[in-house]
Copies of this chain bind each other. A is one copy, B any other.
Amino acid sequence: MNATPVIAIHGGAGTIVRHAMNAEAEARYHAALTDILSAAQRVLADGGSALDAVTEAVRLLEDCPLFNAGHGAVFTAAGTHELDASVMDGATLEAGAISCVTRVKNPVLAARRVLDVSDHVMFTGPGAEAFAAAQGLEFVDPSYFYTEARHQQWLNARGTSGTMLDHDAMTKFAFSNDPRDPIDPIDPDRKFGTVGAVALDANGHLAAATSTGGITNKQAGRVGDAPLIGAGCYANDATCAVSTTGTGEMFIRMLAAYDVSAQMEYRGASLEDASNDVVMMKLPRIEGRGGLVAVDAKGNVVLPFNTEGMYRGFARVGEAPVTAIYR
């Protein structure tokens, strides 16, 4: 008998900022995570595939302005939005990825179409948009990705010398009464804004998906780990499904997502041991900060991170979703 289907998601990792830690802010994040988990849980409960469940979860995370992906994505140095996403099917090892798109409403749906219909795995830039258009995906005006909070953060970042790893101006919105304003209990200057999902379905198949708006005020054209198979996203029925969030460059250099799988396959590590080794040992060696969510074919779920907090949760079919922010 197969294990009970389960979905796990993340919405970014980082450091707790005390003055933004209020009950209302936390409740808003818990509610968003719970709603998204519930929707993906229904996909699995209805017999849907892990691939469909992670695609739906990430689509909803993209649509939610609280998270840095899709609507609510951060601004590049050029004042634009560049979005990346990837998805992988553990049953077939097929994968799809999209980077640097600017007008595709849901990058994860474009990545999914690459997986479903293309002989290729990855498209970037205008070629990626042309592929998405040919596939009939929904396009939006770039203003769709605009949120006042992200714009303010970008204006602030422009006054500094470097990029900001996430939304520095967020704290000023912590006590806003406008429900559209992100209120972010995790220190926006120490938060890594990627979203992702992993799932196990009733047939024992695994899948993973990841999406991001990148880092505030980043140089145009920078590609992080989110659209890179093996770095930000990996799935293999024989081992596990993994989606990561963190300082993307270090996750690329460590092949963080695939390394969890490789440790399970080649040294017989458990999902927990392999994930902890990557997040708590290997990544810190090169100052890599962040975390991941992962699931194996037995239904084990892990959500490790080496920061003070990570927006996260999981939901087994037939059980209430569990969400968390801090350690």
Contact = CB atoms under 8 A, between A and B. Distances in A.
Given A221-B124, A221-B125, A229 B253 contact: yes
Contacts of A267: 266-267
Contact of A219 (B120, B258, B262, B266): B120
A324 interface: no
B219 A131 contact: yes
A263 interface: yes
A260 to B, nearest CB: 11
A322 interface: no
B121 A124 contact: no
**Binding site of A, secondary structure by majority: helix, strand, loop or mixed?**
mixed
A233 to B, nearest CB: 11
Nearest to A162: B119
A165 to B, nearest CB: 10
A268 to B, nearest CB: 9
Interface in A260-311: 262-263, 265-267, 286
B255 A122 contact: no
A123 B230 contact: no
B121 A253 contact: yes
Interface stretch (A17-25, A40-48, A50-58, A94-102): A94-102
Contacts of A95: 252-253
A126 interface: yes
Interface residues of A, number: 47
A122 B286 CA distance: 17
A3 B324 CA distance: 51
Contact of A99 (B124, B230, B259): B124
Given A125-B100, A125-B124, A266-B262, A131 B252 contact: no
Interface of A: 88, 93-95, 97, 99-100, 119-128, 130-131, 162-163, 218-224, 228-231, 234, 248-249, 252-255, 258-259, 262-263, 265-267, 286
Given A100-B125, A123-B219, 16 more contacts: A95-B252, A119-B162, A119-B249, A120-B218, A120-B219, A120-B223, A121-B253, A123-B222, A124-B124, A127-B219, A230-B231, A234-B255, A255-B262, A258-B262, A266-B266, A266-B267
22 contacts: A88-B253, A93-B286, A97-B223, A99-B223, A119-B162, A121-B223, A121-B248, A121-B253, A122-B223, A123-B223, A124-B124, A125-B221, A126-B221, A130-B221, A228-B229, A229-B252, A234-B255, A255-B258, A258-B258, A262-B263, A262-B266, A267-B267
Q: Which 7 A-B pairs have the closest CB atoms?
A: A127-B221, A266-B266, A127-B220, A262-B262, A125-B125, A266-B267, A122-B223
